[in-house]
Amino acid sequence: MLIIHSVQKLLNTSRLESCLYVSKPGPGQYLHSWYARLLSSGFVGKMMVMYVHEPSLMVVICKGKTIQGTWVTFLNRLEQLLSRFQFQASFVNSELSQAEGYTVSKTNSKSMLSFMNQLVFELEYDCRRFPNFESISPDWLEDRMMDRPHQAGKRQTDYLTPLEYWRNEIGMAR
């Protein structure tokens, strides 16, 4: 079971009610907590849902307007992203086997909301560089975000990318 912390606009668009119950990760589960929000593509009527993993800040982009409508796509895109960055197959299979469903709650972290606002600014700019909605490459957007540094400590020099986070967390090869 995954928990998806959603901003209010995405909750409204998805016509979902957030629950107060917050689930705990399963034993050995890393990809448990995700934040989600809508992302404008720059093309009229075309939206995407951006999922951001907490705490690695890994990003998964799905074309669509609702959590329900992008759930299967999210799982497929997550698997593809992990494969592109050469995560071990046992890790990928273990994580996806524990993602049999989701629970939606409201976002509860102001720092995560702030970080997501920065990502939205960058991603919406990137989307506008494509000639049309169909040509927007979620793979390219996700790959770009895997190498995007973010402040990971209290010092101004402590920066980490999502890929470096995973190398440190699960000992991925460089």
Q: Which amino acid is at 134?
A: E
User: Which domain range does residue 122 map to?
Assistant: 2-170
Cross-strand bridge partners of residue 50: 37, 61
pLDDT band at 19 (very low <50, low <70, confident <90, very high): low
Burial class (CB in 10 A: 0-12, 13-18, 19+), 100: exposed
Domain of 14: which CATH number?
3.30.420
Q: Which residue has the higher pLDDT, 12 or 123?
A: 123
Which tokens sit at 30?
Answer: 């890393």
Whether pLDDT at 143 is above 90: yes
Whether pLDDT at 77 is above 70: yes
For position 172, what pLDDT does the model report? Answer: 67
Whether pLDDT at 127 is above 90: yes
Element (H, E) at 142: helix 138-146
Domain count, the chain: 1
pLDDT band at 109 (very low <50, low <70, confident <90, very high): confident
For position 152, what pLDDT does the model report? Answer: 73
Whether pLDDT at 129 is above 70: yes
As a whole number of angstroms, the distance between CA 143 and CA 146 comes to 5
pLDDT band at 140 (very low <50, low <70, confident <90, very high): very high
For position 10, what pLDDT does the model report? Answer: 82
pLDDT band at 50 (very low <50, low <70, confident <90, very high): very high
The pTM assigned to this predicted structure is 0.88
Q: Which residue has the higher pLDDT, 105 or 82?
A: 82
